Amino acid sequence: MAVVALVPTVQLPPRGLWRTKAGSRTASLASWLGREIEPPAADGADPVGETLVMRYLAAFGPAAAADLRAWCGLAGLPDAVAAIRERLVTFRDERGRQLLDLPNALRPDPDTPAPVRFLPAFDNAVLGYHDRSRIINDAHRGLWVTGARFVLVDGRVAGTWTAGEGTVAVTPLRLFTEAEHVAVAEQGRELAAFISGDDNGRVVVAAVPR
């Protein structure tokens, strides 16, 4: 753990292969790239940090600087943000926070319907922000700590799901409308079929406790 924390490393295959388990294997980043890692620029420029900021915004923007810091765990990025500030556009959220984004990023109309999505545990769609209330209600924030897998309905966490023996079981966190129930069931059946490897997968949507 000390080496991984202090030395630039990369995680090697076969970790993360589909239906395959293996221990974590790491190597130094220099050996993986076949060259030594360049030291920080003498003028204080941080092209790696700037690239990180741009790639984060491409995936999760519009977002606040605090969201970026919460996602990557790095505290030394204000200079990188400042260096590319003129290449970004800004917005204000409902609380008055400044949000940053790429100028050519897609920003759908707020009324655009978002399809149902089944997320794996610890997915960045939920963990990618400091203000996670934009995607999950505060009452359910603790669920990600336990590794819950979330169901998104209209872009927000509305349930959890588990899978076993060709069945996907959905536990709603709120009442679904009839249309939402149909959409969740359809997407759940597709997921069950994918996991089971055939067309016999099934989905069960539990009732919301009253």
Would you say residue 134 lies in a domain?
A: yes
**150 and 94 share one domain:** no
Q: Is 63 exposed, middle or buried (0-12, 13-18, 19+ CB in 10 A)?
A: buried
Would you say residue 161 lies in a domain?
A: yes
CA–CA distance, 165 with 45 (Å, rounded to integer) = 53
Specify the residue for token string 């960045």.
124
Least confident of 14-23, 112-121, 150-159, 166-175: 14-23
Answer positive or negative: Cα dihedral of 94, 99, 101, 103.
Answer: positive
Would you say residue 135 lies in a domain?
A: yes
pLDDT over 80 at 30, yes or no: yes
Overall number of domains in the chain: 3
58-107 residue pLDDT tens: 999 999 999 999 898 887 788 889 989 999 999 998 888 899 999 999 88
Distance of CA 132 to the CA centre of its chain: 11
pLDDT over 90 at 176, yes or no: yes
Would you say residue 63 lies in a domain?
A: yes
Domain containing residue 191: 117-205
CA–CA distance, 153 with 159 (Å, rounded to integer) = 8
Which has more pLDDT, 196 or 167? 167
Least confident of 37-41, 92-96, 120-124, 163-167: 37-41
